[in-house]
Structure 1
Amino acid sequence: MQDKLFYKIGEVSQLTGLEAYVLRFWESEFPALHPKKSKGNQRVYTKREIDLILQIKKLLYQEGMTIAGAKKKLNGAPVPSEPPMREPRHEETLDRVRRELEEVLHILS
């Protein structure tokens, strides 16, 4: 990341791998994420805000938290453990077990 004072939303989008609409939505959900507006009314983000975006992204996408859970975590409140997201291989196993049970049910009926 270049060392600049301010970054436009397009630059932040590229740096974080997030679409601009996601960044705008997160602004409405996370009060600490409030970029200033330039004279041309464009959002300009500081390095601190980009770090916060990356932290939010990690909580939501890698740790599987909900927005409410991420808000609590960022505000320092204890977060109740959320159910882990199912991994694709678990979905495949569940599908296989479901099919096998349906076959057994068909044989018994």
Structure 2
Amino acid sequence: MTTTKIITAENLIADYATDIAFVAEEEPATTLADLAAQLYACGDPFEMAGFTDAKEEADAAATYLTDAAASTDPTERAVLLKKAAERLPYVGDIASEYRDMC
């Protein structure tokens, strides 16, 4: 039997905020809007380190998180969080790798 983790803003922040904040050179995000802003801020460091694909994935995840933070429709918000969650594992792995490089 497999267990499916429910995707929530809190889970995404808990899972990714620390590594993303390191790349963005900020304190870990506590809101979706802050996490999205930090993901956008990761673009230049990722590109300078040669992780071009990570920049694109970070930007896409940030867009979904920004839209989710602004949404008042629970169904729409859930869909946007799911789309962000599909991109964040790759971004999180690259952020962790970037952290190890520094």
TM-score by length of 2: 0.41
Larger Rg: 1
Higher helix proportion (structure 1 or 2): 2
Higher strand proportion (structure 1 or 2): 1
TM-score by length of 1: 0.39
Larger RCO: 1 or 2 (CA < 8 Å, sep 6+): 2
